[in-house]
Amino acid sequence: MIHQLIFAFPRPGMSEEAFQQYWLEEHAVRYASKIPQIRRYSVDARVPRRGETAEPLWSGLAEIWLANGEEQVASLQSPEFLEGARLDEPRWAAFWRTVVLDTATETVLPGVPDDQVQPGVKLVVLAKRREGMTVEEFRRYSRDLHAPLVTALPGIRRYDQSYTQDSWYEVSEPPFDAAYHLWFDNPGAVDAMEESAQQARVLADYDNFVNPRYRHALLFRQNWVIGPRSR
């Protein structure tokens, strides 16, 4: 299963609220959800954090699940994509700021079953491996050493690790090697977690395997368009 992550930002002159509303209520319903190969599809809206002052890198995240590479190619060649979703994107998204990752996702700490709505909010952390570290070393460290630190965070309800698919490395170096999904009950639980001693240990451990220039965290609220059960 391919778990595609699409990070997007509003086109110039469009507010974040209008961008999120259009993506969820117009683009997702009228265009993207009509692509027959998409098995599951959610649009995740960025949740502002306390104390933020800088402009966010992205304001939303689309999560798309496809059965395999063949169906992904078919989806990109479908009239629903070429004549619908693709043509609609410039109306609301700054395409030059869009980042796409095809990943394989591993659940480390299960939440509610995957065919049910995960309650709460999700902190997504994008990571690029430290210079001099191979992809295999990065993944092994992440699974074996970093994951236990994350699952010990106070208030965490679910934890997934999404690794960029191997096929991307055959073409070029992808912008990120992994996306980590950390679920919490609400933004207040995230704030409390970030003030904990365990979070200090997690942050310190990133230096052992992640390039600090390419580590970004954003908080999202997931909105299902197709799913959570696969069609």
Q: Note whether residue 133 is domain-resident.
A: yes
CA–CA dist 40, 139 (Å, integer): 26
pLDDT of residue 79: 98
The total number of structural domains in the chain stands at 1
> Does residue 63 form part of some domain?
yes
> Which residues have a Cβ under 8 Å from the Cβ of 219 and sit 6 or more positions away?
46, 47, 49, 121, 122, 123, 124, 187, 190
Q: Which domain covers residue 24, as residue numbers?
A: 2-226
pLDDT tens track of the chain, all 231 residues? 999 999 999 999 999 999 999 999 999 999 999 999 999 999 999 999 988 888 999 999 999 999 999 999 999 999 999 999 999 999 999 999 999 999 999 999 999 999 999 999 999 999 999 999 999 999 999 999 999 999 999 999 999 999 999 999 999 999 999 999 999 999 999 999 999 999 999 999 999 999 999 999 999 999 999 999 999
Q: What is the CATH number of the domain that holds 194?
A: 3.30.70.100
Residue 50's pLDDT is 82
Contacting residues for 8 by C-beta, under 8 A, at least 6 apart: 19, 23, 58, 59, 60, 61, 62, 93, 94, 97, 98
231: in domain: no
Q: Is residue 56 part of a domain?
A: yes
Cα gap 107→182, rounded to integer Å: 11
Asked whether the beta carbons of 119 and 112 are under 8 A apart, the reply is yes
CA dist 169 and 226 (Å) reads 30
Q: Is residue 211 part of a domain?
A: yes
Tell me, yes or no, whether 64 lies in a domain: yes
Domain annotation covers residue 144: yes
167 contacts: CB under 8 Å, gap ≥ 6: 69, 102
